[in-house]
Structure 1
Amino acid sequence: METEAPFVRWAQRVETALGQALPSASLSPQRLHAAMRHAALGGGKRIRPLLVYATGSIFGTEERWLDAPAAAVELIHAYSLVHDDLPAMDDDAMRRGRPTVHVAFDEATAILAGDALQSLAFEILAEAPVASELRVAWLRALSTAAGAAGMCGGQALDVEATGQMQTLADLECMHRLKTGALIRTSVRMGALGGSVDEGTLRLLDTFADALGLAFQVRDDILDVESSSEQLGKTAGKDAAQAKCTYPALLGMDGAKAKLKELDLVMHDALAPFRKHATALWALGKLAIHRTS
């Protein structure tokens, strides 16, 4: 219960920040604004914002200073899901238990909504009420994670690899960019709000890198073992689209063994912060044991 209480509070904080930052659906262009709110509000685990708050709490950073990066990383994540679900990408009809944006609205509106969510993320950071040096550091970290050297690059590798069996090294490289880059940046942005040295940042990067891979391995396992109702999105789509996954490459037992290996890496990376990193460690455990 000690870890649940801050998660509830932090989720409420970021939901409030998102609701205030997103344009009202009553303002023109109403359809675009409604699509943006559909994509970003009222669903999702909010793992990335929670990582921002949890990491910041290790260094005593006030939560109000973390609202901006928490909202920004969630907007980037939401935009990536909108575009990932498009017919040209994964062509998915359900996300977070609801119709995807291009299904609920239309494809053109979904593209524009994703573009607008991405722009809004950087606008929030640029206007954050913190020192200019911190704003620039946050902007640099998030822009790198979202671009060709991060999430977009990983998505490109994913598209190119569809229908092909990858090596384990290639699969991990893809996921370190597609999923891991934004998770690493969420942790780093939380840390940058405090006084941290390079050695501390490297340990947190190691934790976040293992967390990002663990999240993806678990995602691959759930895609095989769970139903669409349990996941809130279409189950079995990886096999249907002939995508290389950890279970496909390592077998289910091998994928679960990989999770245990990543669990140990996270444990060791957080060891120096253990007394202050209860919430961050709980998020690592969530990546390993989540059911949706």
Structure 2
Amino acid sequence: METSELLIGMTFFSLTIIAILGNFTLLYHCIYFYLTRYRLRSWVLMHLIVANIVTVLCKGVPKTIASFGFKAIFNDIGCKLFYFAHKVGRGACIGSTSFLSVFQAIIISPRNSRYSKLKVRSHKCIHCCVYLNWVIHLFTNSVYFVHLRAINGNESTTNLKSFSYCHSARHDPTSDILYAILLSGPDMVLLGLMLWASASMVLTLYRHKQMMKYMSRTNASSRSSPESRATKTILLLVSTFISFYTISSLGQFFVSVVYNPSWSLLNMVETFSILFSTVCPFLLMSPDYRTSSYLKRNRQFPKPSDIE
């Protein structure tokens, strides 16, 4: 086994262990507060965490095994299921992060803003959008069941495009570009929503800061509110996601259109595909957010009984 393969295997093994521990810890907190007192944010976070876990397990575990020299670890069905589940989980991460930022932007908007009426209806809208996001990615990523397959040890890979433990038949450049557009279309829409929500939150926080300059400063007003701290953490979460997603998406686009992608490009794309899922729970458990204490005292998110 080459040293480079060993380093890649150890990297993916470390990222997988860290991500699983962090996401399951955060999932425990979210389930606890979801059961004790209903919170819409807890519900969205649960979807995000489950998507993170699916993404890490379906990419980190097979990639670690493959990097240690066990290439033929799946048959055709296993290859397609794992790759399909990873892509669906990644899409659910995008959607959950996007809807979390949109929800936060609506909640912190001023009462006299044009989004004030959405506060009451946000509960049902976010629920529908999260479920719809799962369905859309289940549908669009079903294309992998057609084109991906495992490869036998003695089979030639000359006419196949390698994806670590799976392979795909090579297509003409036009078909590859069309497939890339089909698979990235929903993600681009969600990314646009994320950017809009982030800009809206930044503008709201800036206006609030400007307003506070003209108010008398007391001890209570000098401290940032839980909602403000949560908003800043979600902005950090979104900016981290956009950074990793942009690099990963550009890499995946080149992998899709390049006839014979290099070993370095494939490993870079696969590493960035699980970095957000690894970092995400630790951002949400950061001192600025403090998931457990924040969810306990947050009072502004309505329960279903308050909305209906």
Q: Same fold (TM over 0.5)?
A: no
Higher relative contact order (CA 8 A, sep 6+): 2
**What TM-score do you get using the length of structure 2 for normalisation?**
0.29
Structure of higher CA gyration radius: 2
**What TM-score do you get using the length of structure 1 for normalisation?**
0.31
